[in-house]
Amino acid sequence: MLISLIVCTRNRCSSLRNCLEYVRRLESPGDWELVIVDNASTDQTADLLKTFVENIPFGVRLVFEPIPGLGRARNAGVAKASGEIIAFTDDDCYVSSDFLIRILDVFRDVRIDFMGGRILLYDETDVPLTIRPESEVRLIPPRSFVRPGQLQGANMAARRSLVTRMGGFDPDFGAGSPFRSCEETDFQARASQAGATGIYHPGPLVWIINGRKPGKDCKKLMNAYHYGCGAYYAKFILNRETRSRFLKNWYWSARNRLRDHEPLAILKELTGASAYILLKLRRLGKALGRVEEPTRMASL
């Protein structure tokens, strides 16, 4: 199998229907498959998927992941995918007809291990959030600092061998998990620190329907984003090998936010970082308790 396209969805039946119509129009790059992960939806998603697979000329795998969380859902999709290249888009996105062909073109360069592509607004009246409109190719050398949002999960791909080697996505990150963003950034950063080469390439293109207009919805989204970013920074700062690089970049990011009059963004990041550290401490305490309990019982 050349390439697997994974779409994860949760309670977005209406947007998923439109997303799949664009997937249906994809030009075939050769031997490929679609993997759809239903992440514990409670709406009409299951009925939609049943109807969709009845009239499709390409291979489709349906996966059900009962525990909410985008990182966990992506892992469930990867576990069932068989492509040499694993590509991702989101259920609120429309892929260009040559999307898979363009991704395979990027990976013809044997140096490239993972990539992110161009993301444009479908509705130009939406707030321009979670987009990547740049038209220049940008290489991400091994052991780089990967900035949150630098490559986004709505248009991302990696070699299967790399995904397997990195152990997939961290289930603590992504929509529906404790930290509702940065599951793709965390994966890319771990891959880069392990010596992988990444790239931003404008060739593969998707349009996003974020549906957000100026107002409270945007503020809520950005608060969740900054909270997840703080957890992402904390994870790598806790690692001795990456601590200095991530501390330095977080410092300069905070300086830029102060310059741009965004102190609340810094506060949200600090809150997310603190929550991540507390989560790790609680898990460590539980693990130590499980180790000590047999010793106490034996002494009795």
Domain identity same for 226 and 199: no
β-sheet bridge partners, residue 174: none
Q: CA of 246: how far to CAs of 174, 192, 196, 253, in Å?
A: 20, 13, 18, 10
End position of a domain, from candidates 208, 236, 266: 208
Domain identity same for 190 and 220: no
Domain identity same for 99 and 228: no
Residue partners of 98: CB distance under 8 A and separation at least 6: 27
Domain identity same for 80 and 135: yes
Domain identity same for 167 and 223: no
CB atoms inside a 10 Å sphere around CB 180: 20
End position of a domain, from candidates 173, 208, 243: 208
Q: Give residue 300's pLDDT.
A: 33
230-243, pLDDT tens digit by residue? 999 999 999 999 99
pTM: 0.93
Buried b (16+ CB within 10 A) or exposed e, 250-273: beebbeebeeeeeeebbebbbebb
Domain identity same for 138 and 257: no
Given a cut of 50, whether residue 299 has pLDDT beyond it is no
40-84, pLDDT tens digit by residue? 999 999 999 999 998 888 999 999 999 999 999 999 999 999 999
Please report which confidence band the pLDDT of residue 210 belongs to, taking 50, 70 and 90 as the band edges: confident
* Lowest mean pLDDT, pick from 60-69, 222-231, 252-261: 252-261
150-178, pLDDT tens digit by residue? 999 999 999 999 999 999 999 999 999 99
Domain identity same for 178 and 143: yes
Instruction: Please give the residue range of the domain that contains residue 63.
Output: 3-208
Buried b (16+ CB within 10 A) or exposed e, 79-118: eebebebbbbbbbbbbbbeebbbbbbebbeeeebbbbbbb
Q: Quick check: helix, strand or coil at residue 224?
A: helix
The CATH number of residue 128's host domain is: 3.90.550.10
End position of a domain, from candidates 208, 242, 274: 208
Mutual orientation of helices 216-237 and 243-259 as an angle, nearest 10°? 150
DSSP state of 148: T
Q: What is the rounded average pLDDT for all residues in the chain?
A: 93
297: which 2 tokens?
């019982």
Count of structural domains, the chain: 2
